A = this chain, B = another copy of it.
């Protein structure tokens, strides 16, 4: 018709608005824009994240224009209104942020802000898990699981940080009804290792593969006929000489602030978890009720008052 009843601009596209091609679209359409609209478009393309945080009024103010102009620009860019442009802006900002994320693989520095520390640490440990999973010999793992599941008795050796990993494994094995002991004291470990024989399992955890305090008891167990397993980052290390089965953990590069113990622990725990689940699968008939029972028993520790929940 002749009169314009509504300022509905010839929306250049009937298609649903673009996701990330926004900057390009701004460039394409800029020549056909009026001065004020260009200012808005420029602001939007230049700082999507910042603009996404603004209301219509805010953006108008920031660009020295009016709300109406902001809405008009949104329309021209292919969105029904500012509300939708804003959503697209938030999405764009997120994509940009995600693209930049992998850049933080750098080492953790002394002056890193705490937020970077969190990100870097999480990424390094994730990498460490992936490496370990990729490098784990499933045949050896399978054999270790079989030995554990059938064992009369299980002794675990670890000192320092590895001691905690050993305790973790033992805690879990006990929960599904196996007989397991963790030894942190090398003397007692050796003393007990003498008791082991065929059908028992001895498991040593050492990142360096050279920890004498852990190798000794494993050697004794080995010589007494027990099945010996080593979880180590050095499959060629001394500990491997006395191990029937070797499970290799990954060795992440360590830095000044991040001692090797940190990544080796992550790696070791993954192996330990795999062992546990493997054993639980194989002894499922017995393990399932045992797990349920121990869970139930703990539930009452939360709240001293008796009764359900």
- For A115, A145, A160, the residue with the greatest tally of chain B CB atoms inside 10 Å of its CB is A115
Expressed in whole angstroms, the Cα–Cα distance for A303 and B210 within the complex equals: 7
- For A20, A132, A161, A302, the residue with the greatest tally of chain B CB atoms inside 10 Å of its CB is A302
Q: Is the CB of A171 within 8 A of B161?
A: yes
Smallest CB separation, A178 vs chain B (Å): 15
Q: Is the CB of B122 within 8 A of A133?
A: yes
Q: Is the CB of B160 within 8 A of A164?
A: no
Q: Is the CB of B110 within 8 A of A133?
A: no
Q: Is the CB of B126 within 8 A of A142?
A: no
Across the interface, A257 reaches (CB within 8 A) one of B100, B269, B281, namely B281
Q: Is the CB of A273 within 8 A of B121?
A: yes
Q: Is the CB of A266 within 8 A of B265?
A: no
Smallest CB separation, A34 vs chain B (Å): 17
Q: Residues of B contacting A99 with CB < 8 Å? A: 98
Expressed in whole angstroms, the Cα–Cα distance for A261 and B20 within the complex equals: 30
Pick the interface stretch among A6-14, A37-45, A68-76, A87-95. A87-95
Q: Is the CB of A130 within 8 A of B138?
A: no
Q: Is the CB of B129 within 8 A of A274?
A: no
Q: Is the CB of B114 within 8 A of A284?
A: no
- For A138, A257, A277, A278, the residue with the greatest tally of chain B CB atoms inside 10 Å of its CB is A277
